[in-house]
Amino acid sequence: MLGLTKLASGPGNVAIAERPEPRPAPGHVVLDVVAAGICGTDLHIHDGEFAVVPPVTMGHEVAGTVAELGDGVDGSWLGVRVVTETYFSTCGECKWCSTGRPNLCRERRSIGTHVDGGFAPRLVVPVTNLHRIPDRLNAYAAAMAEPLACCCHSLLDPDRVGDDERVLVIGPGPIGLLAAQVARSSGGHVHVRGTPADAARLDVAGALGFATSTTAAAAPGEFDVVVECSGNAAGMAFALETAARGAPYVQIGLAGKPVMLPFDLVCFKELSGTSGFASTPTSWARALELIESGQVELEPLLSEAVPLEEWERAFAATRAAAGIKQVLLLN
Ligand SMILES: [Zn+2]
Ligand SMILES: [Zn+2]
């Protein structure tokens, strides 16, 4: 079986390579992967800026069908369309695991970074990680359930946005457009901001019903909550500057390197810096609820489903912020 693999640490060292055929251990299933989303993290992994345990098949935003069951797995799972949480294993005992925060477990091993992920036709995951997806949701869009769960973790656990609060989302990429929809589901009035190069993405934000602006325009006032999804120093500085006094500053974007920021504003305005690393079981439940209820739409964010062999083109498009979300097609 061929999979897109991080072969060794450092920049590059990514190629399609022969990978071990997955076998389901007890309590695990093999998924036929239909689609797996390309995430900013995958670019950081490609560039050697995000720690992984090579050689490892990349891909952690997975939608597929249950194809094989390990011992002890309920037979009703066979053939079910699913998305999967990303933790392959955690210690289950530390203070983080025992308080519903397995994302912070030091022993955490995730698909696509520590164990083989979804940029291959098949992968094995614990059955406890699976979530059924609605019939009407296409599997390409369903691969975005994972980044949606990450946004739910950052914005809903605990709730950062209150009814009628003004929310600024910086960076209209896939994470920004998911975060904007989550913030709106909490009652926020959301403004999405990008650069002039983001025109097409801001058009999608507009079509989803959000107010938008670009850095070519003046700051649109102060915001009760600022959500930074660009991972860009200028975006972070702008978020600190436009946050109202006492506001939460939510950092979701990753810079991949140290950045210079006017951090005194955290003090002068008593901002509370918050974030969320990856996702938790609670945030997955919230994500699936938002998809089921139609409060979050995934399809408008899907730009292209690209065959695995053309991964370089899809990675380049993601890097160039062309379109919104590229997913790789595996089956
Ligand atoms: Zn991701
Ligand atoms: Zn633990």
CA dihedral sign, ordered 171, 177, 181, 186: negative
Q: Are 83 and 60 in contact (CB under 8 A)?
A: no
What's the CA gap between 227 and 240, in Å, rounded? 10
Query: Where residue 208 falls among pLDDT bands split at 50, 70, 90?
Result: very high
DSSP string, 177-195: HHHHHHHHHTT-EEEEEE-
Interval between CA 245 and ligand 1 midpoint (Å): 31
Residue 28 Cα, ligand 2 centroid: separation in angstroms?
19
d(CA 41, ligand 1 centre) in Å: 5
CB atoms within 10 A of CB 257: 9
Q: What is the pLDDT of residue 257?
A: 87
Q: Could you tell me the distance, in angstroms and rounded to a whole number, from the CA of residue 104 to the centre of ligand 2?
A: 7
Euclidean distance between CA atoms 185 and 156, whole angstroms:
10
Predicted local distance difference test score (pLDDT) of residue 324: 96
Q: How far apart are CA 142 and CA 64, in angstroms?
A: 9
98 CA → ligand 2 middle, Å: 7
Centroid of ligand 1 to alpha carbon of 218 (angstroms):
32
Are 179 and 194 spatial neighbours (Cβ–Cβ below 8 Å)?
A: no
Q: What is the CA 299 to chain-centroid distance, rounded?
A: 15
Q: What pLDDT does 192 receive?
A: 98
- Per residue in 252-299, pLDDT tens? 998 888 999 999 999 999 999 999 999 999 999 999 999 999 999 999
**What distance in angstroms lies between residue 179's CA and the mean position of ligand 1's atoms?**
13
**Are residues 123 and 29 in contact, defined by beta-carbon separation less than 8 angstroms?**
no
**pLDDT band of 111, cuts 50, 70, 90:** very high
pLDDT band at 214 (very low <50, low <70, confident <90, very high): very high
β-bridge partners, 16 = 4
Q: What is the mean pLDDT of residues 168-183?
A: 98
Nearest to 138 by CA among 308, 325, 316, 298: 298
Q: Look at residues 71, 57, 69 and name the one whose alpha carbon lies nearest to residue 121.
A: 57
Alpha-carbon 30 to chain mean position: 22
- Residue 280, classed as helix, strand or coil, is coil
pLDDT band at 27; cut points 50, 70, 90: very high
Mean pLDDT across the stretch 140-160?
Answer: 96
Ligand closest in space to the Cα of 149: 1
**Tokens matching residue 146:** 């994972």
Tell me the percentage of the chain whose pLDDT exceeds 70: 100
**94-100 average pLDDT score:** 96
| DSSP 3-state of 229 | coil
Residue 302 predicted with pLDDT over 90 = yes
pLDDT digits (tens, 9 = 90+) for 181-201: 999 999 999 999 999 999 999
In this prediction, residue 331 has a pLDDT band, given cuts at 50, 70 and 90, of: confident
pTM above 0.85, yes or no: yes
Beta strands 130-132 and 122-126, pairing class: unpaired
